[in-house]
Every structure is written in C-alpha cells, then in structure tokens.
Amino acid sequence: MALARCVILGAAALSLALPASAQLIARRDLSYSMALAMATAALEACKARGYAVSVVVVDRGGDTMVAIRGDNAGPHTMENARRKAYTARTFRMTTEAFLQEMKTRPVRREQTTLPGVIAINGGVPIKVGSDTIGGIGLSGSPGVDEECVNAGIEKVKQFLQ
C-alpha cells in the first residue's frame, strides 16, 4: 500500500512539472527575402570589385535557403560557398576564426573531417544578439570573400536586432 501511494504521488509530481517543460520555444529565423537580399548584396559587392563569385545562405539548421552562382563563377565556388556557410553556422564563428583555432585547438582539425565542414576564409555566422540563426558563405574572391559577405549582412543589419 505504501508503495502504491509513493507511485501515485510521484506520478502526480511529474505531471505538475510537464506543462512547464512542454512549452514552445520562441525563436527568430531568417526569411527567404532576407536571405536573398543578403546573398544578392554580397554577390554585388564582389562583382563591383571585379570578382565572379557564388554565395550561399543557410538557415539555423544548416540547410540551404539561397544559392546564387554569379556570371562566370568557377565550378567549385558553389560547393565552397555552401560549406563555408554551413561551417560558420555550425560553429557559430567565421570560417577565418575557425581556421585560426585549428592552430591552437587540435579538435578543430578533426572537425574538418565532418561532412560539409571547411576551414577556408569566407563564411560568416548570421546572428541576432548571441543567437546564431544562419550562415552565409561566398567563394571566388580570394582574400576578399569575408568582406563581401559582411556587405551582404550589412544590407539587412537593421532587421537582425
């Protein structure tokens, strides 16, 4: 009888805790129009400097939202841009910072063996405060990729608050 009472009381206590833990999570996500505006602005920033690039924007789950291959962009640039965007989103840091961490944190080198991860400059996380809601990657303008990506983020910065 005492055991049955303990089981009933335990079940009652658990049922009181469930409603609090079963609440929906509020979060902000990228819209298609914001992703497209960012990608287009990044592509145009590099095009104005004479580069033919590809740019990819991924959402918080690392899935591609927008992928643009600019006129005359190399065949490898689309895949590089996707992997840069994915890496920036996954690790919540620029791919340049990820590359620098490889020098001091051996685990970073190991993480480059994960599918979709790459340690090349040109990927930037998209953030609202400290929440990473996506990533943007660009390829085809060696040494300038991240500058062009930042121009894309700047285009929609007022909405990332």
Instruction: Give the tens place of pLDDT for each residue, 82-125.
Output: 999 999 999 999 999 999 998 899 899 899 889 999 999 999 99
Distance CA 96, CA 100 (A): 6
12 part of a folded domain: no
Question: How far from each other are the two terminal CA atoms of the chain, in whole angstroms?
Answer: 58
**Strands 54-59 and 131-139, bridge-based pairing:** antiparallel
pLDDT of residue 23: 81
Cα 100 from chain centre = 18
Point out the residues of the chain with pLDDT beneath 50: none
Q: Work out whether the CA dihedral 114, 120, 126, 132 comes out positive or negative.
A: positive
What domain count does the chain have?
A: 1
19 part of a folded domain: no
- Phi-psi sector, 135: left (phi>0), alpha (psi -120 to 50), beta: beta
137 part of a folded domain: yes
The CATH number of the domain where 46 resides is what?
Answer: 3.30.450.150
124 part of a folded domain: yes
Residue 140: domain span:
28-159
3 part of a folded domain: no
> What would the two tokens of residue 20 be?
């609090």
7 part of a folded domain: no
